[in-house]
């Protein structure tokens, strides 16, 4: 009986791990929610929503979308998309490719855009990808090398090894 329970438990854990497996890409029609993360193929970087609390504002929570060092035990953000627009309510929140082809943080229930790449896009076949160097890029298509927008062009206070200055 114990063997049967152990096998069932292992099968459950395996299935859970497979369904929670991270990817490095968001295609049109896909979304990253507050429970998901993109992980670069080499595993060094991750993109996800994260929460911070501020004691100065009465312990209210702020949510951000950021790239962080996935292999460092202490959470360390390296780039934040909405650093000037903290999110208070995470209900119906997602990162997705919008109908205009831009990568956006969207409130699904109100259809309001909280943050956008605001790239000049001619057609809507774009793909977002977190590269092995920590750069989040919006490409023309999944197999294209044409970058329409990249996080390295919008640096914060952390320098990435392969980022170019100026």
Q: 22-52, pLDDT tens digit by residue?
A: 799 999 999 999 999 999 999 999 999 999 8
pLDDT at site 2: 43
Which whole-number Å values give the CA distances from 54 to 8, 63, 86, 93, 146, in the listed order?
43, 11, 12, 21, 40
Condensed to tens digits (0 to 9), the pLDDT of residues 106-153 reads 999 999 999 999 999 887 789 999 999 999 999 998 778 899 999 999
- Residue 146 C-alpha from the chain's centroid: 20
Q: Taking the complete model, does pTM exceed 0.85, yes or no?
A: no
- Position 163 in a domain: no
Give CA–CA dist 166/79, Å, rounded: 17
Tokens 């292999």 appear where? Answer: 71
**Number of domains composing the chain:** 1
H-type helices in 40-122, by residue range? none
Query: Is 14 contained in some domain?
Result: no
Q: In this structure, is residue 17 part of a structural domain?
A: no
Whole-number average pLDDT of the chain: 82
CATH code of residue 32: 2.90.10.10
Is residue 135 in some structural domain? Answer: yes
> By C-alpha distance, which of 27, 90, 42, 99 is closest to 64?
90
Q: What is the pLDDT of residue 14?
A: 35
The reply to whether 37 falls in a domain is: yes
Residue 101's domain comprises 23-153
Asked, for residue 11, whether it belongs to a domain, the answer is: no
Query: Does some domain include residue 39?
Result: yes
User: DSSP letters of 37-82?
Assistant: EEE-TTSSEEEEEEEEEEGGGTSEEEEEEEEEETTSSS--EEEETT
Residue 13 within a domain = no
Residues, the chain: 166
């Amino acid at each position: 009986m114990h063997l049967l329970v152990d096998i069932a438990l292992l099968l459950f854990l395996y299935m859970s791990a497979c369904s929670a497996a991270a990817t490095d890409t968001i295609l049109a029609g896909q979304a990253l929610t507050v429970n998901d993360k993109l992980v670069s193929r080499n595993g060094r970087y991750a993109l996800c929503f994260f929460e911070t609390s501020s004691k100065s504002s009465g312990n209210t929570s702020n949510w951000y979308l950021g790239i962080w060092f996935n292999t460092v035990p202490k959470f360390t953000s390296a780039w934040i998309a909405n650093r000037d627009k903290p999110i208070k309510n995470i209900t119906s929140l997602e990162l997705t490719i919008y109908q205009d082809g831009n990568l956006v943080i969207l409130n699904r229930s109100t259809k309001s855009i909280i943050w956008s790449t605001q790239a000049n896009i001619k057609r809507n076949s774009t793909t977002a990808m977190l590269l092995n160097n920590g750069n989040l890029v919006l490409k023309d298509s999944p197999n294209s090398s044409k970058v329409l927008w990249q996080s390295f062009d919008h640096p914060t206070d952390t320098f990435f090894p392969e980022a170019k200055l100026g």
